[in-house]
Amino acid sequence: MHLALLSFFKEVLTSQGDYKAQVDAFAGDVFFTEENNCLVFSLTDLHQFLPAVNCLSFKEFKHLLYQGEFNASLQKLGGKVEMYKSTGKLETNLYKLIAIPKKPQ
């Protein structure tokens, strides 16, 4: 399940795959911002959006994100998740996936 989420985020970060049409067709809080084309999502709707993680309970999905190596793995792919809009509740906060700027060598 961890790999399915990382794979989706990698597709978004590298602009590969057919995720854009799927995101545009989704009727929830998984969308791209108009100003900089960042992927924005609530945890609840991201859980519903991805079939591979939908078989987990929402509690298991949150545990996967917060207790595992997800953030370290995502950073290795060149991305990170930041707060987009706080609602005061973990389930409905909006987060955004952004690319980490590459350091000049």
Q: Residue 105 domain-assigned?
A: no
Number of domains in the chain: 1
Quote the mean pLDDT of the chain.
Answer: 88
Q: Residue 11 domain-assigned?
A: yes
Q: What is the pLDDT of residues 45-86, one digit of tens each?
A: 999 998 877 788 888 888 888 877 888 899 999 999 999 999
Q: Residue 78 domain-assigned?
A: yes
Note whether 97 and 12 are within 8 A (CB). Answer: yes
Q: Residue 43 domain-assigned?
A: yes
pLDDT at res. 54: 75
pLDDT at res. 64: 82
Is the confidence at residue 11, as pLDDT, over 70? Answer: yes
Note whether 25 and 9 are within 8 A (CB). Answer: no
The residue length of the chain stands at 105
Q: Residue 31 domain-assigned?
A: yes
Is the confidence at residue 104, as pLDDT, over 80? Answer: no
pLDDT class of 1 with cuts at 50, 70, 90: low
Q: Residue 76 domain-assigned?
A: yes
Q: Residue 104 domain-assigned?
A: no
